Amino acid sequence: MEDQGGARVSAALDHRGEDGAAPSGRDRSRPEETLRSPAQTRKTIEGERDLLAAALEAADVLLVIFDDQGRILRVNHAFEVATGHRGGDLRGRDFLDTLPIPEARETFTDGIRSLRAGVAMFAFENHWLKSGGERLLANGSLKAVRDSEGGLQSVIVAASDVTQQRVTEGELHAAALRDDLTGLYNRRGFALLAERRLMESRRSGAPQALVFADIDDFKAVNDAYGHDAGDRALVLAARALTATFREADIVARIGGDEFAIVADLGSDDHDVA
């Protein structure tokens, strides 16, 4: 009996630490946790990387990432669709020599210089070259990605293709300045362009002529033959004025049957009676 009791005491001591205390469940699991931690960390990092890559590809904006030397690292699917460039073909190429048109490189150079100086973001709107040589108007920003010491590590270019949007805006703007019936400038267009012409004339010293014209007895035409005939008379008058003055002159219909013209007299080929 004594031998068995001594064996039980000895076995119990063998399970105690050097300080005589029995190891807790938490202490016993530490080696296993230490072994699992690197694997779990790698899995977490890989999961986050895959999530970011999926978000990059799913984004509607055009994304380009290049390193601190301007070498393209990656583009997303939206960029490939809009520009026709394949990401694999662009990887490693210089961003400034590949995408912006020559006139836009200075803007991007200034932007990258600003990011190096500590600016977080630089906005731009300029043209890029598509794979077939066509131009794409991109509106977006350069955003800095910095290393642990604050130095520029890479740059994210996020942009939208606003080519068609700007065309539409230009058409709407032009329509707002034109008379629907005659195609001449309307009162608003005349006021805007005449003011610009006056400012240019003051700088250059080129003389300008201001001409007003109307259609005699226009009301009688409307009363006798109807508004359709009156509209045709206005169109014919507009054509006559357009043929009389140069394309560079400002010819406008500013009211019912009233027209106004600003003509540049500084040109040798202009003769105003």
**CA 2 from centroid of its chain's CA atoms:** 90
Note the pLDDT of residue 136: 95
- Provide the pLDDT confidence category of residue 162 given band limits of 50, 70 and 90: very high
Confidence of residue 16 (pLDDT cuts 50, 70, 90): low
Coil, strand, or helix at residue 133? Answer: coil
As a whole-number percent, the residues of the chain with pLDDT over 70 amount to: 82
Bridge partner list, 209: 263
Stretch among 10-24, 60-74, 140-154, 231-245 having the lowest mean pLDDT: 10-24
Q: How far apart are CA 65 and CA 36, in angstroms?
A: 34
- Give the residue carrying structure tokens 């013209």: 261
101 vs 134: CA distance, rounded Å = 10
Confidence of residue 11 (pLDDT cuts 50, 70, 90): very low
pLDDT band at 27 (very low <50, low <70, confident <90, very high): low
- CA 59 to chain centroid, in Å, comes to 15
Return the residue matching tokens 């500013």. Answer: 254
Please, what sign has the CA dihedral across residues 110, 112, 116, 119? positive
Reported residue count of the chain is 273
Q: What is the pLDDT of residue 273?
A: 46
Q: What is the pLDDT of residues 213-227, one digit of tens each?
A: 999 999 999 999 999
82: number of Cβ within 10 Å: 18
Residue 153 three-state SS: strand
In single-letter form, the type of residue at position 80 comes to: E
pTM of the model: 0.58
Among 219, 227, 211, which Cα is nearest to 259's?
Answer: 211
Q: Which of 241, 263, 206, 185 is nearest to 272 (CA)?
A: 263
Q: Is 258 exposed, middle or buried (0-12, 13-18, 19+ CB in 10 A)?
A: middle
In this predicted structure, the answer to whether residue 157 has a pLDDT above a threshold of 80 is yes
Residue 135 has pLDDT above 90, yes or no: yes
End-to-end CA distance of the chain: 140
Structural tokens at position 198: 């006056």
Residue of 3 and 127 predicted with greater confidence: 127
Integer Cα distance of 189 and 124 in angstroms? 29
Report the alpha-carbon distance of residue 241 to residue 234 in Å, rounded: 11
pLDDT in tens, 33-49: 455 577 777 777 766 76
Q: Where are the beta strands (DSSP E) in 196-257?
A: 208-214, 250-255
